[in-house]
Structure 1
Amino acid sequence: MDLGLNGKTALVLGAAGGLGSAIARTLVREGARVVLGDIDRAALDRSVSAITPQGGEAFGLEWDLANLQDINPKIEAIEAHWGPVDILVNNTGGPPPTTAFGQDPALWNKSFQNMVLSVIAITDRVLPVMRQRKWGRIITSTSSGIVAPIANLGISNALRLSLVGWSKTLAREIASDGVTANIIVPGRIATDRIKFLDEQKAKREGRAPDQVAAESTASIPMGRYGEPQEYANVVAFLASECSSYVTGSVIRVDGGLIPSI
């Protein structure tokens, strides 16, 4: 299937991590020109180095999403290099594991700026040209906690859910301009983030990480953690011409983990 991504410019945030890196590689493989944004310069360089030998077009931008003043210069650099952004993949790191109760307001504020306000501000920056050109894709990666809140991820559950309301509202506002906005929800995908969360749970409960991972795996109907590539494949579809009538949706990539309809 031709996804129609040749020559499209994509910006993938959080692109040095497991999910972001897989998404960037997949979009490049489908013919897109990809800008990888991440705060971790060394990991970002490794991700770009893994892509360019394939013959694809990619470059990295060291990007601290907490610094909203950086948004305009970063987008201007992309536009000067390849032109306007056609595809935006909003993928941010998660906050530390916490209960919902008793957290410092400063932590809530910092997490909101990193995970929510940055996403909204970057999207607002690239949307006008998408609407003018009558084509664009806004894809926002969240967490299964937006459907079934995850214990000890209180801040993540709350803030990621706010992005769902934002994206659904936005989708109606921009649909007639040929721009789509969708939420994608990972279940237990085998990334460093999931490994970290398993290790933290094991530490809290005085168990071995392998025990926690085995218990988690047993709760997944497919009987395994997902691969980052499987998640990236769905993102690539949502970024494509083929998804032109899909907007305002919440797409799960979870191996059947979330039990609700």
Structure 2
Amino acid sequence: MNLYLTDKLFLVGGATSGFGKAITEQLVAEGAKVIAVARTESKLKDLQDKSNDIEIVATDLSEESALDKVLDQIGNRVLTGAVINSGGPPAMPVMDTKLSDWDEAYKTVVRWKIALTQALLPKMMDNGYGRLLYIESVSTKQPVENLVLSNAMRLAVTGYVKTLSQEIGSSGVTLNILGPGYHATQRMENLFAKNSQLKGISEAEIRKTFSEQTAVKKIGNPDDFASLALWLLSPHSGYITGQTITIDGGLVKGTMG
């Protein structure tokens, strides 16, 4: 299938690892141009070495200064789409959280996404076209154990995206959320380690337990995840907006999963 992404410009957050890296690499393979954003410049340069179609911005998207850096890099060019993605808050159970943890989680999961969306949206609406794709979590449909900060804050993003998609539905700009389940990413490794510590069993046992929670009995591949992301970033997805789609190997048991 031709995704019609050749020479189109995309912004990808969290581009040096996990889902962001997989999406960046597949966009470039489809002929697109990518502004890759991540915190570590050395990792960004390693990514850039793979393609002349990758530009880099080393910044933490949750910091207020990041927005100006990203907008400066885009300049007056037409941005076709953006993958709004970064790491999540630390793993912990409810009773271990402090109010300061909640304040920080709002900053790292919610606030910057709203700011970036509001900055990118007017020009996309003027152009009559745009694709905004938010990478959240399966916790938008079903809570993940010991991830209360992520469970709560990602639902706030879901409410924001759904409301906005209704308000601008006829603009040509779509907004959708992908909710990954258990995939082979560093974020998942951190969760395995945290659960191992809390439960006093090995990380291998934790990994097996998580795998067995899915219908397919295995951990997902970020490259497979990225293939759906690319379709949602393409013109083919124009009739899909305001949706939260979980990619979870059958983890969510509810019929609306």
- TM-score grouping bracket, smaller chain normalisation: over 0.9
Counterpart check, 1:174 vs 2:180? no
Once superposed, which parts of structure 1, at least 4 consecutive aligned residues long, lie more than 4 Å away? none
* AA aligned opposite 2:15: A
Which residue pairs with 1:210 in the alignment?
204
TM-score normalised by structure 2 residue count? 0.95
Which residue pairs with 1:186 in the alignment?
180
Structure 1, unaligned runs of 5 or more: none
Asked if 2 retains the 8 angstrom alpha-carbon contact of 1:139 and 1:182, the reply is: yes
Pair 219,102 (structure 1): closer, same or farther in 2 beyond 3 Å: closer
Structure 2, unaligned runs of 5 or more: none
- Deviations along 1:74-109, whole A, 9 cap, x unmatched? 2122225xx132211111101111222452222211
Counterpart check, 1:70 vs 2:66? yes
Counterpart check, 1:20 vs 2:20? yes
Mapped to 1, the partners of 2:243 and 2:62 lie a distance apart of: 27
Mapped to 2, the partners of 1:207 and 1:28 lie a distance apart of: 41
- Deviations along 1:145-172, whole A, 9 cap, x unmatched? 1111112111110001100000001111
Which residue pairs with 1:199 in the alignment?
193
- Deviations along 1:176-228, whole A, 9 cap, x unmatched? 11000001010111111111111111111111111111111112111211101
Counterpart check, 1:130 vs 2:119? no
Asked if 2 retains the 8 angstrom alpha-carbon contact of 1:137 and 1:238, the reply is: yes
Mapped to 2, the partners of 1:63 and 1:4 lie a distance apart of: 29
- Deviations along 1:214-249, whole A, 9 cap, x unmatched? 111112111211101011001001000110111011
Counterpart check, 1:5 vs 2:5? yes
- Identity, in percent, stands at 31
After TM superposition, the structure 1 stretch with the greater mean CA deviation from structure 2, 232-241 or 198-207, is 198-207
* AA aligned opposite 1:41: E
SS class of match (2:16)? coil
The Cα of 1:45 is off from its aligned counterpart by 2.1
Pair 217,73 (structure 1): closer, same or farther in 2 beyond 3 Å: closer
After TM superposition, the structure 1 stretch with the greater mean CA deviation from structure 2, 92-101 or 220-229, is 92-101
* AA aligned opposite 2:48: V
Asked if 1 retains the 8 angstrom alpha-carbon contact of 2:93 and 2:145, the reply is: yes
The Cα of 1:38 is off from its aligned counterpart by 0.7
The Cα of 1:69 is off from its aligned counterpart by 3.0
Asked if 2 retains the 8 angstrom alpha-carbon contact of 1:88 and 1:123, the reply is: no
SS class of match (2:164)? helix
Asked if 2 retains the 8 angstrom alpha-carbon contact of 1:72 and 1:125, the reply is: no
> How many corresponding residue pairs?
255
Mapped to 1, the partners of 2:88 and 2:66 lie a distance apart of: 20
* AA aligned opposite 1:14: G
TM-score normalised by structure 1 residue count? 0.94
Counterpart check, 1:154 vs 2:148? yes
Pair 60,170 (structure 1): closer, same or farther in 2 beyond 3 Å: same
The Cα of 1:73 is off from its aligned counterpart by 3.4
* AA aligned opposite 1:36: A
Mapped to 2, the partners of 1:248 and 1:215 lie a distance apart of: 32
- Deviations along 1:93-132, whole A, 9 cap, x unmatched? 0111122245222221122112111011111111111000
Mapped to 2, the partners of 1:66 and 1:158 lie a distance apart of: 17
- Deviations along 1:32-71, whole A, 9 cap, x unmatched? 110110112222222223x31xxx5111110112221331
Mapped to 2, the partners of 1:73 and 1:210 lie a distance apart of: 41
Counterpart check, 1:163 vs 2:149? no
